[in-house]
A and B are shown apart, each in its own frame.
Chain A
Amino acid sequence: MTSDKPLLEVVDLRVSLNRGVDVVRGVSFNVHAKKVVSIVGESGSGKSMTVRAVMGLPPPLASLSGSIKLNGEELVGASERRLRRLRGSKIGMIFQDPMTALNPVIRVGDLIAEAVRLHNPRMSAKQAMQRAIELLETVAVPQPDVRVRQYSHEFSGGMRQRVMIAMAIANNPDVLIADEPTTALDVTVQAQIIEVLSNLRQMFPVGLVLITHDLGIVAGVADTVVVMYAGKVVETGPVRAIFRGSRHPYTRGLLSCLPSIEQKAGKLVPIPGNPPSLSARPSGCPFRPRCPMARDICSTEEPELRTVDDIETACHFAEELRTFDTSAFQTTAGSA
């Protein structure tokens, strides 16, 4: 498999709920083998809805358009039967809260063995259990041969998340989607889980989609960053380029919410206001009401993604942003 051909190609994906509310409005991104794509954005920005659509699990009565290609195979409009075959074998998913995402009345070994056998029906129960033990070893669970006989409540949060990962990679998927995999965990455990995820790439050519709020994790493991706001991609590019020279005030705002070692005395700068509601989106640029540099054109024209230097950004004033000072948020916050 050549590395320049993406494993997962999402082009102009749109998701509308049945009440005519657009939650995802034309999202595009590619996932390559052994690369990590990180989707960041506030709650309600459409990140989870995007990956749910990729999994073929949109909310009931939602309508999808655009294109999702896995290894060249179109998933939008594919039969439920076909999608079920792909789920768990070609695309794996890791959920946010390992406390509730494991069935409490099935032994952990049986859960993983089930994930294996669902897509390898001819494998014997014994072989599947052997594979479950191997998988637990892969995700660094100590004493896997003992642990497979335990129930999920006998596991700590971090260990449960490892079990989730073991289930998701049971059939060496091409794409692994992790929906905020560390949000529910302790900080020390977060680092371990991210390491486990990151190490998977050395074992088989998986492409990772990592949804997270944690920009520290993004800086640490992501290759590409996709910043979403109000159902759209507002900025995307290589992780270094985004962190060093973001061309969108929203990304800048997110970055200035981060504490940094260099500026010890510096105050954290929040982005004022809240993300727009899905039903009452502002005219023009959706970020306008919260943006410190909004001008007249922002309320009439919604900026489209365009290439500026080595990143793609959706801001009318991307060129000016080279010199943009994030402290501008503070003045807006003060006056609001």
Chain B
Amino acid sequence: MASASALSAHAPARSFRLARPALVVGIGILIFWVVVALTVEFWAPYEPLKIVSRKLQPPSFSHWLGTDALGRDVLIRTFYGAQYSLTIAVIVVAASVTIGSVVGALSGFFGGWPDSILMRLVDITLSFPPVLLAMSIAASLGPGVQNTAIAIVVVWWPVYARLMRGQVLDVLSRDHIEAAVAGGASRTRLLLKHILPLSWTPTIISATMDFGQVVLLAASLSFIGLGAKPPTPEWGSMISEGAAHFYSWWIAFGPGLAILSIGLGCNFIGDTLRDMLDPKDE
């Protein structure tokens, strides 16, 4: 155990060379969507809001995923939706990780009554079903991209706070931390140089996996009308429109497949990272 944890910092370098099909597929999917989101404006034949054909046309060679209730191209709208979904996911995950890690690390490191208060706050937040809590926050803030992001961050940061706190407490109890104290290291130095560099792994894995979850949650909020406003090509609201025209299956198919692929890709990456970074599995 002891020697295994000492090796953990170097395990990835060795394991990256091994072929890991799930990782390759996962990264491939994410790269595809990132490239689409960044470049779609330059090569897409239509604007996402442009009515290009008659309404509710099934898939054909000119419109691969058919057209929606207003006659807009579903595939093009799905591609444009990536901009919206990826941006919100990146912002939400980054903000949650930052807030959660800072709170969790300070809470675990300093302990005492601030730790108790912060962790009870985390407990309270986590005791609500996440979708329900995000829904009520989004509803009270009103629809819009920014409000969706805020709602999801409020629901999500406690996960990282708890994760980081546990990890900091674990590292804090290791011998080399005591050795650093015996060498005269100050508390700030201890936290920044000796504890945090060893505490990131679970957060990185969790953030990767959560990326897909956030895409899904953002789409869910839009689906029930709490996210993006209707003309915006957002996956959740597109599926919502598709649900209204249930027998035109293609309307929901494009954005549904997009969400599925991103969720799957993130899980592939997260699982592989966990196997690679966790010394206990070796």
Contact = CB atoms under 8 A, between A and B. Distances in A.
With a 10 A CB-CB cut-off, give which of B178, B184, B194 has the most chain A CB atoms: B184
Given A97-B175, A101-B179, A102-B179, A153 B184 contact: no
B179 A164 contact: yes
Interface string B169-207: 000001110111111111001000110011000000000
A115 to B, nearest CB: 5
Given A57-B178, A95-B179, A100-B176, A88 B184 contact: yes
A100 B179 CA distance: 10
Contacts of A103: 176, 179-180, 194, 198
Given A99-B2, A99-B6, A93 B176 contact: no
Contact of A97 (B2, B185, B193, B194): B2
Interface residues of B, number: 25
A87 B198 contact: no
Interface string A147-172: 00001110000000000100110100
Given A153-B7, A153-B10, A101 B175 contact: yes
Contacts of B9: 104-105, 151
Instruction: Please tell me the size bucket of the interface on A.
Output: 20 to 34
Contacts of A101: 175-176, 178-179
B98 interface: no
A295 interface: no
Nearest to A99: B2
A99 B3 contact: yes
Contacts of A87: 181-184
Interface in A83-111: 84-89, 92-93, 95, 97, 99-106
A115 B183 contact: yes
B182 A88 contact: yes
A93 B184 CA distance: 10
B5 A104 contact: yes
A100 B184 contact: no
Interface string A225-255: 0000000000000000000000000000000
Given A100-B176, A104-B5, A93 B182 contact: yes
Nearest to A105: B9
A114 B180 CA distance: 10
B6 A118 contact: no
